[in-house]
Amino acid sequence: MNRKHALELRRGDAVQTQMHFARKGVVTPEMEHVARAEQVPVEAIRDELARGKLVIPANIHHVELEPMGIGMSLRCKINANIGNSQVTGDASTELEKLRVSIECGADTVMDLSTGGDIDGIRKAIIEASPVPLGTVPIYQAMERHESVATMTADDILQLIEHQAKQGVDYMTLHAGLLREHLPLAKRRLTGIVSRGGAIMAQWMLEHGAQNPIYERWDDILDICARHDVTVSAGDGLRPGSLHDASDSAQFAELKVLGELARRARDKEVQIMIEGPGHVPFDQIEMNVRRQIEECDGAPFYVLGPLVTDIGAGHDHITSAIGGTMAAFAGAAMLCYVTPKEHLGLPDLDDVRAGIVAHKIAAHAADIARKRPGARDRDDAMSRARYGFDWEKQFELALDPQTARSMHAQTAGKECTLESDYCSMCGPRFCAMKVNKALRAV
C-alpha cells in the first residue's frame, strides 16, 4: 500500500498512533490493510487496537511499510533478528540478511547492530524493508559511551527520538527492571542474560539510581506518540536457564511491565510485552496466562522459549518447540532463535533455518487455535501428496527450495518427478500407491 496519502490526511493530530485513531473511531488504511490480510472484519481490528489487544507497528516516517498486525486474535507472527556485533558484520551483510528474512517469511525484523556504522546500517534497512523494523536503542547508546558511567538519561532519550525520526516501527525498552529487583537476580544460576537488562542493571549500580527508562517513561511515551513508535517492553530479567525460569525476579518485573502497559495506553501509545527465554515445557502455558492477566491482554512477544539448555547447535528446534506451545497458549509473536544461538553470530544459512523453524511453530499454533483458513495450505499439500504432484508439493512447502533439493538428492534416474513413488519406499512399497489401487476396488 502507499501510506503517503494516508499519513498526510491525519497530519493534524498531535498523537499519531493507530491506537489514537482507533479510539476516535477512525478506520485507517493501515487497519484496512491488516483486516484484508487476516480475513478479519476491520471493526474487530479497530476495537482490539483501541483496547490495546493488538498493535500495528507503523512509524509515520516508514512510508514504504506494508502494515501488519500483532495480537492474539490474528495469525501468530515471527520476528527475525539481524544486525552485526562488534566482532563481525557490515551493512551489505545485514541487507542480505534482511532480504533472506523477508523471502523466508519473517513478519518483522529487528536490527540489533552493536558495532560499526550503526546509524547507516539502520537507515539502509528501513529504506529497504516492507516489514516493520524493531531496534533496541540502548545498544546504540552503549556504543557511543565508553561505559555506562558517562551515559545520562537524556542521552538515552535523544537516541530514542533520533531512531523514532528515522522511522523505527518498534523499540525494545527495558523499563521494567528496577533497582529493587537486582537482589532477586543474584540468586540465579545464570543471572541476567538479556543484554539490555544487563546494561540497565549496570547503569543503576554505577549511578546508584533508579532505571532511567522507567523514570522517564512519560517523556518516552510522548516521543512514541508523536511518531507512532510501538513499545516492545523488554524483559531484562528473562530467565537464561531452565533453573531460573518462573522465578521471583522474572515475575516481579512482569508486574512492572503491566503497570507500564497501562501507562502507555493512557497516552494512546501502542505496546506489546516481551517474554522468556528458557522455560520448561510444562511451565509455558502458565507463563502466557500470567502475562495476559498482568498486562490486560497486551500482545505477548516471546523469545523461544527454549525447552532445554543443552540444544546448542540446534536451538532453533528447542525454541520452535517452546514457541509452538507459547503461541498455542496465546503468544502473538515469536522471536526466532537460530542454530547458532549461544555459539556465535548467525550467518545466512542460520537465518534461513531459524525463520523456517519458527514459521512451522507459528503455523502449527494457528492450526491448533483454529484460525480462519489456517489449515487450507496443509490440505492442499496433502491432496498434492496423495496425487503424486511433486511440483505442487514443492510449491506448497514452507521452504520450497529445500524440499525440491532434498527430493532431487535421492530421486535420480529410477525415480523422477513423473514417478508415482519416491526413493523412501521405492516403486512396489509406496503406501500411497497401494492405497490408490484400493480406491479403485
Among 176, 311, 330, 354, binds its own copies (CB under 8 A): 311
Is residue 183 involved in binding its own copies (CB under 8 A)? no
- How many Å apart are CA 414 and CA 419, to the nearest integer? 8
Please report how close the Cβ of residue 243 comes to its own copies at its closest, in angstroms: 5
11 versus 370: smaller Cβ distance to its own copies: 370
Q: Looking at residues 50 to 79 of the shown chain, list those that interact with its own copies (rule: CB under 8 A).
A: none
- Show Cβ contacts of residue 393 under 8 Å, excluding neighbours closer than 6 positions: 381, 384, 385, 403
Please report how close the Cβ of residue 282 comes to its own copies at its closest, in angstroms: 4
Measured in whole angstroms, the distance separating CA 364 from the mean position of its chain's CA atoms is 16
Please report how close the Cβ of residue 244 comes to its own copies at its closest, in angstroms: 8
- How many Å apart are CA 411 and CA 391, to the nearest integer? 14
Is residue 150 involved in binding its own copies (CB under 8 A)? no
Q: Which stretch binds its own copies (CB under 8 A): 17-25, 43-51, 125-133, 238-246?
A: 238-246
Question: What grid cell was written down for 118?
Answer: 550503526
Crossing angle of helices 118-128/153-166, nearest 10°?
30
* Helix or strand run (H / E) with residue 233: strand 230-233
Q: Looking at residues 407 to 426 of the shown chain, list those that interact with its own copies (rule: CB under 8 A).
A: 407, 409-411, 414-415, 422-426
- How many Å apart are CA 94 and CA 109, to the nearest integer? 11
- Between 369 and 408, how does the x/- string for binding to its own copies read (CB under 8 A)? xx----x-xxx-xxx-xx------xx-xxxx--xx-xxx-
Among 307, 332, 335, 351, binds its own copies (CB under 8 A): 307
Is residue 248 involved in binding its own copies (CB under 8 A)? no
Q: Which stretch binds its own copies (CB under 8 A): 46-54, 97-105, 187-195, 292-300?
A: 187-195
Q: Looking at residues 329 to 348 of the shown chain, list those that interact with its own copies (rule: CB under 8 A).
A: 339-345, 347
Q: What is the largest CA-CA distance in the chain?
A: 82
- 387 half-sphere exposure, CB direction, 13 A CA radius: 10
Is residue 252 involved in binding its own copies (CB under 8 A)? no
Question: Are 177 and 200 spatial neighbours (Cβ–Cβ below 8 Å)?
Answer: yes
Q: Which stretch binds its own copies (CB under 8 A): 15-23, 64-72, 81-89, 294-302?
A: 81-89
14 versus 441: smaller Cβ distance to its own copies: 441
Is residue 85 involved in binding its own copies (CB under 8 A)? yes
| Nearest alpha carbon to residue 226 among 49, 59, 25, 7 | 59
239 versus 258: smaller Cβ distance to its own copies: 239
Question: Are 89 and 36 spatial neighbours (Cβ–Cβ below 8 Å)?
Answer: no
51 versus 314: smaller Cβ distance to its own copies: 314
- How many Å apart are CA 204 and CA 94, to the nearest integer? 32
- How many Å apart are CA 109 and CA 341, to the nearest integer? 17
Please report how close the Cβ of residue 382 comes to its own copies at its closest, in angstroms: 4
